[in-house]
Amino acid sequence: MSKKSNKKNKSKNSNKPQNKNVNNKSVQNNSVANKPVQNNNVNNKPVQNNNVNNKPVQNNNVNNKPVQNNSVANKPVQNNSVANKPVQNNNVKSKIKDIFDKNEIAKNTAILTTITLCSGLFVGFVYELTKGPIAMAKAGAAQEAYKEVFADAKNILPYTDFDATKAKELLDNAGFVDDTIVEVLVANDGNNELGHVMSVTAHNGYGGDITFAIGITLDGNVNGIKMLTINETPGLGMNATNEEFTSKFANKKAQMFNVTKSGSTNESEIDAISGATITTEAIVTGVNAALEYWGSITGNVVEGEIKAIVEPEPVAVESSAIYKALFADADNFAVYNNFDANAQEILSSAGFTKDTIKEVVLAKSGETEMGHIITVVAHDGFTGDITFAIGVTTEGTVVGIEMVINNETPGLGLKASDEEFTSKFTNLPVQTFSVTKEGSTSESEIDAISGATITSDAVVNGVNAGLEYWGALKDGVTEGEFSPLVLEEPAADTSEVYKVLFADADNFSAYTGFDIKAEEILDSAGFTKNSITELILAKNGDEEIGHVINVTAHDGFAGDIEFVVGITNDGVITGIEMVTNNETPGLGLKASDKEFTSKFVNVPVQELNVTKEGSTSESEIDAIAGATITTEAVVNGVNAAVEYWGALKDGATEGASLVIEEPSASVEYPTLFTDADTFIADESFNVDDTKKLLADAGFSKDTITEVLSVASGDVSLGKVVKVTAHDGFTGDIEFVVGITNDGVITGIEIVTSNETPGLGLKASDKEFTSKFVNVPIQELSVTKEGSTSESEIDAIAGATITTEAIVNGVNAVAKYWATLTGGASLVVEEPSASVEYPTLFTDADTFIAESFNVDDTKKLLADAGFSKDTITEVL
C-alpha cells in the first residue's frame, strides 16, 4: 500500500477524543459507540453537544464552570457519521483486552516491554546521576598521571593551540597511522613554561586501545610515561603498567625509540616485555608519535628529524665532480700537502670544535689561480658527520657548497643536499653566516630547512669553519707549510714503458705515416674521443712479437689521459701503462696504479666494459671507486687501440670485427655445488605462478627468475634458484641460492648488485656470503647485535637495508623450495621467542618443526567454523 493511502486510512480510523479546539470553533463529536465524551474543557464554558444519538456527555469540567462553546458562528457541528449511520465501534481498550485474553504471548510481551522500559528509565536515571562523578574521577586520575610525568610542574593547563584534526593529519603523514594525540597540556612552575604533557592513544595494542600520558621538557627530555587505560593480557601486556617498563623512557633524550628482543645496547632501544611484543611495540610507536607531534609544536625537532629507526646508508659523491661543480672554468686542481698541520688548531682557537678540515684543493685555469676548495666535516649533524666542500675565489667570494656525504633524515636533513638549500651560499662575500627560522633579512642569514634545524646549524657552522680556515690560509697564517702538490706527472720514459709491455723485446721501431687512416678508422667505429698518437713494432731480434699503441683518451675527468697498450701478434693484450694522467689524486689518479693496470694483463683481444658490480669475466673491468668517468675513459681508449690493431692486423682500413666474449651467465653455479656436472633448467618453473605464491606469503618485493635442477651424473643434488630482491638500497639485487635435496643451503652468490661501494657492495664479499653456507632451511633474520645462532645474519655495517633485502630474498627462495618438497622440515633453534615450549613439556629436550602447511590448515579450520583462528606452528 502506498504512503498516501496509508495516511488517508489512518485519518478515517482516528477515534481519539483529544480536544484541540482553538478559536471558538465547534468541536466535532467523534465519540465512539455513542459513549459520552469526557469534557476536558478548562474554562467551564458550555460545550456544544456533538454527541450522536443525543446521549448525555459526561461532565469532567473543572470547578463546574460552564464550558466555552467553540462552535464557529454558533453553527452546529457537522455529524461525520456517513448517511446518519451510527459510528462503528473501534474501541481500542476493548480490542486490547480481547487480544490479551486470547493471546498469552502478547500479554507476556507487554509485561516484558513495560519492565524493559522501566529498567531503561532506571539505568538512564542512574547514568545521569553518576556520569558526573565518573567523569570527575577519570579527570582526577588523568591529572594524577600528568603530575607523575611532570613532577616539577605547579600547573598543568590545556594547550590552547591544540587541533586534534591537524595533529592526526601530521601523524598520518609521518607514518603513525595507528596513533592519536588525545590531549595536549602545558606544564609550568607558576611563572615559566617547563614543557608539555600529552595524552596518546595507541590503537594497535594486543587487547585494543592503550592510552597513556607522556611528559617532555622544553629542552627535549622525556620525563616518563604513565598508563591511563589499558586492557592487555594480565601477566603479559599488563606488565606495561609496571615501573620496570615505564621507567625505560624516563630521563631520555627525545629520539625515535625502537623495540629489541636481544637486550638494549643504547638508550634508544626499549626491551620488549617478555611475551608481549605487540603491546611493547604499540606503546613505543605511540611514544614516537608523541615526540613527532611535540617536535611540530616546539620547532625543536620536526616531523621525523628525530633519528630514524632505519638508518639510511651513506651516499658518497665523486670529489672530482664536486671540484668541477664549484669551479666550472678550472682545468686543473692541485691538492695541498700538509694542510692539516695547523688546521685543527686554527679552528679550535676560533671556537669551531665540532668541525674538521679534511682537504684543501687549489683550483686553476692554466697557470691562473682561481680559488680554493675546502672540504669540511661537520661532526654535529643530526645523524652524525656531514661532509661537504666549499668553493672560495681568491677575491673572497663563496662560489657555493656541494655535499660529499650526507646521512641526514630523508625528506628533512637530507634536503641539505638539494640545490634549494646549497644555492643560498652561492656568490656571497666571505662573512659569518647564521641560521634563522623567521625568514632571512640579509645575505648573512640562511633560512633553516623546515624540520631540520640541527642539520642546518651543523652545515652553516661548518661553512663558517671553512671560511675561518680560508682566512688563515689567505693571510699566510700557516707560514708556508701548505705547499701545493703538482698533479701533472712528468712524461714517462717511453722506452721503459715499452719494455714493461714486451719484456722479451730487444728493439722497438716506430711506424711513420701510421696515423693517415687511424682517425678515420676510429671515427667510423664510434671512437670519436680517442686518438692514436704513436704505433711501435716490438721485436725480438728479427722476430715480430707485437705492437705498442699509444692512445690519448680525451674524455678523462680532468682532461686528456695518455697511455700505451701492448698487443701480441696472436691477439693478447700484454697490459697498459700510463704516460700522462692528471686525474684527481686518490681517485682517478689510481688508474696509474698497478692494482688497476694489472686488470688488462694477458687478456685476449675483445670488447671490454666497465662494471660497478664486481667483474664476473675477463671482459669486465672493475670501476675505480669514485672515479667511474676516468675508468670509462681508459677502457674506451683500450677498445679504440684494439679496434685500430684489428684494422692493422687485417691490412684493412674498415676496422676489425672484435671477438666479444659473453660472460657465462652460469659461472656462479658451480661454486654452490662443487660436485655437480649438470645444471638443467626446471621446466615446471613458472615465473608468474611463483610470483603470486611469494606475494601471498608476504614476499612481494622478491622475484624468482630461474630455477635449475642440479645433478652429478644421474644423481640429483638439489636446486639453484636465482632471485631478484627489489628492495636493495640502490635498487635490484640479483643473486643465486643453492639448496640441497635434504634442505641445506649450500651458499649464495651475488650476480648483480649496484649497492654503495664500501657498504652495500660488501654483500658480494665472501665474508658476507659465507654466512649462508651449510645453513639448514629456516627463517633467517638480520641482527645488529651479533648473531647468536645460525638463523641470525649479522648486518653489514652501514648497510642494514642491503642486508635485509638479501636475507628476505633467501627466505623467499626457502618458501618456494618448501612448496616443491611439500613443506620443509625446519630446524627450530631455541630463540627467546620459544621459551614457552619447555613449560608445556618439562621432560623434552628437542622441539622440531613438522611438515606443516599454514594455508591448508587455515582452510581446514575455516571449514570447521574456526575462521578467526590460525595455527602458525606445529612442533
pLDDT at 384 over 60: yes
pLDDT of residue 108: 74
Mean pLDDT across the stretch 765-787?
Answer: 93
169 in a structural domain: yes
Question: Would you call 533 exposed, middle or buried from its count of C-beta atoms within 10 A (0-12, 13-18, 19+)?
Answer: middle
Lowest mean pLDDT among 195-199, 225-229, 589-593: 589-593
Q: Which residue has the higher pLDDT, 823 or 367?
A: 367
Q: Which residue has the higher pLDDT, 254 or 85?
A: 254
Cell numbers for 25, please give them.
470553533
Q: Which residue has the higher pLDDT, 490 or 44?
A: 44
C-alpha angle with apex 659: 654 to 660, nearest 5 degrees?
A: 115
pLDDT of residue 675: 86
HEC string of 808-843 equals: HHHHHHHHHHHHHHCCCCCCCCCCHHHCCHHHHCCC
pLDDT of residue 317: 43
pLDDT of residue 102: 61
pLDDT of residue 732: 92
Q: Which residue has the higher pLDDT, 425 or 313?
A: 425
Q: Could you report the per-residue pLDDT of 540-562, keeping only the tens digit for each? A: 888 889 999 999 999 998 889 99
Q: Are residues 219 and 326 in the same domain?
A: no
pLDDT at 523 over 60: yes
- Read off the DSSP letter of residue 770: G
Dihedral sign, Cα of residue 830, residue 835, residue 837, residue 838: positive
pLDDT at 73 over 50: no
pLDDT at 702 over 50: yes
Mean pLDDT across the stretch 107-135?
Answer: 68
846 in a structural domain: no
Q: Which residue has the higher pLDDT, 650 or 408?
A: 408
- Number of domains observed in the structure of the chain: 6
Q: Are residues 117 and 180 in the same domain?
A: no
Q: Say if CB 354 and CB 378 are below 8 A apart.
A: yes
- High-pLDDT (> 70) share of the chain, %: 74
Lowest mean pLDDT among 341-350, 784-793, 843-852: 843-852
Cα gap 240→685, rounded to integer Å: 49
For 184, 264, 296, 511, 563, the CA distances from 292, given in Å and listed in that order, are: 13, 22, 7, 74, 57
pLDDT of residue 174: 83
What one-letter code names the amino acid at 82?
V
Q: Are residues 640 and 503 in the same domain?
A: yes
- High-pLDDT (> 90) share of the chain, %: 37
Mean pLDDT across the stretch 282-307?
Answer: 73
For 15, 54, 714, the CA distances from 30, given in Å and listed in that order, are: 6, 13, 106
pLDDT of residue 519: 81
State the residue for C-alpha cell 614476499.
699
pLDDT at 114 over 90: no
- pLDDT grade for 47, boundaries at 50, 70 and 90: very low
Cell numbers for 606, please give them.
675483445
pLDDT of residue 45: 45
42 is in which domain, residue-wise? 1-90
pTM of the model: 0.30
Q: Say if CB 215 and CB 222 are below 8 A apart.
A: yes
pLDDT of residue 599: 95
pLDDT of residue 480: 31
pLDDT of residue 498: 83
Chain Cα centroid distance, residue 407: 14
Q: Are residues 763 and 685 in the same domain?
A: yes
pLDDT of residue 78: 43
Q: Which residue has the higher pLDDT, 755 or 792?
A: 792
Q: Are residues 721 and 573 in the same domain?
A: no
Mean pLDDT across the stretch 184-207?
Answer: 92
Chain Cα centroid distance, residue 645: 52
pLDDT of residue 300: 55
Q: Could you report the per-residue pLDDT of 603-620, keeping only the tens digit for each? A: 999 999 999 999 999 999
For 24, 484, 726, 758, 763, the CA distances from 754, given in Å and listed in that order, are: 98, 36, 12, 12, 10
pLDDT of residue 160: 86
Cα gap 567→600, rounded to integer Å: 11
pLDDT at 7 over 60: no
857 in a structural domain: no
pLDDT of residue 140: 59
pLDDT at 37 over 90: no
| Domain end call among 617, 650, 683 | 650
- Going through 230-367 in order, the beta strands assigned E by DSSP cover 252-253, 258-260, 269-271, 332-335, 355-365
138 in a structural domain: no
| Domain end call among 298, 333, 360 | 298
Lowest mean pLDDT among 130-134, 247-251, 387-391, 446-450: 130-134
Q: Which residue has the higher pLDDT, 98 or 31?
A: 98
Cross-strand bridge partners of residue 621: 610
Q: Are residues 324 and 294 in the same domain?
A: no
Lowest mean pLDDT among 27-41, 238-252, 289-303, 595-609: 27-41
Cα gap 35→681, rounded to integer Å: 101
Lowest mean pLDDT among 1-5, 144-148, 176-180, 767-771: 1-5
pLDDT of residue 304: 38
pLDDT at 18 over 80: no
- pLDDT grade for 447, boundaries at 50, 70 and 90: very high
pLDDT of residue 495: 59
5 in a structural domain: yes
Q: Are residues 58 and 5 in the same domain?
A: yes
pLDDT of residue 647: 80
Q: Are residues 286 and 343 in the same domain?
A: no
pLDDT of residue 81: 42
Lowest mean pLDDT among 77-81, 334-338, 544-548, 582-586: 77-81
Cα gap 487→337, rounded to integer Å: 12
Cα gap 53→30, rounded to integer Å: 12
Element (H, E) at 107: helix 104-149
Neighbours of 853 (CB within 10 A): 15
840 in a structural domain: no
What one-letter code names the amino acid at 215?
G
Neighbours of 850 (CB within 10 A): 12
Short-list 715, 347, 654, CA closest to 522: 654
Question: Over the chain, what is the mean pLDDT?
Answer: 78
HEC string of 614-653 equals: CCCCCCEEECCCCCHHHHHHHHHHHHHHHHHHHHHHHCCC
pLDDT at 219 over 60: yes
- pLDDT grade for 783, boundaries at 50, 70 and 90: very high
- Read off the DSSP letter of residue 668: T
For helices 104-149 and 92-102, the axis angle rounded to 10 degrees is 90
Q: Are residues 275 and 394 in the same domain?
A: no
| Domain end call among 623, 650, 677 | 650
Cα gap 197→167, rounded to integer Å: 15
pLDDT of residue 436: 93
849 in a structural domain: no
C-alpha angle with apex 204: 202 to 205, nearest 5 degrees?
A: 85
Q: Which residue has the higher pLDDT, 597 or 2?
A: 597
Q: Are residues 444 and 542 in the same domain?
A: no
Q: Which residues fall within 8 angstroms of residue 435, CB to CB, at 6 or more apart?
A: 445, 446, 447, 448, 453, 456, 457, 460
Q: Are strands 269-271 and 258-260 parallel, antiparallel or unpaired?
A: parallel
Chain Cα centroid distance, residue 276: 25
Q: Are residues 228 and 285 in the same domain?
A: yes
pLDDT at 639 over 50: yes
Mean pLDDT across the stretch 144-152?
Answer: 87
Q: What burial letters (b/e) apply to 203-239, b meaning 16+ CB within 10 Å?
A: ebbbbeebbbbbbbbeebebbbbbbbebebeeebbbb
- pLDDT grade for 220, boundaries at 50, 70 and 90: confident
Helix (H, G, I), strand (E, B) or coil at 540: strand
695 in a structural domain: yes
- pLDDT grade for 566, boundaries at 50, 70 and 90: very high
pLDDT at 88 over 60: no
Q: Are residues 327 and 438 in the same domain?
A: yes
- pLDDT grade for 355, boundaries at 50, 70 and 90: very high
Mean pLDDT across the stretch 840-863?
Answer: 76
State the residue for C-alpha cell 643451503.
745
pLDDT at 841 over 60: yes
Cα gap 794→641, rounded to integer Å: 46
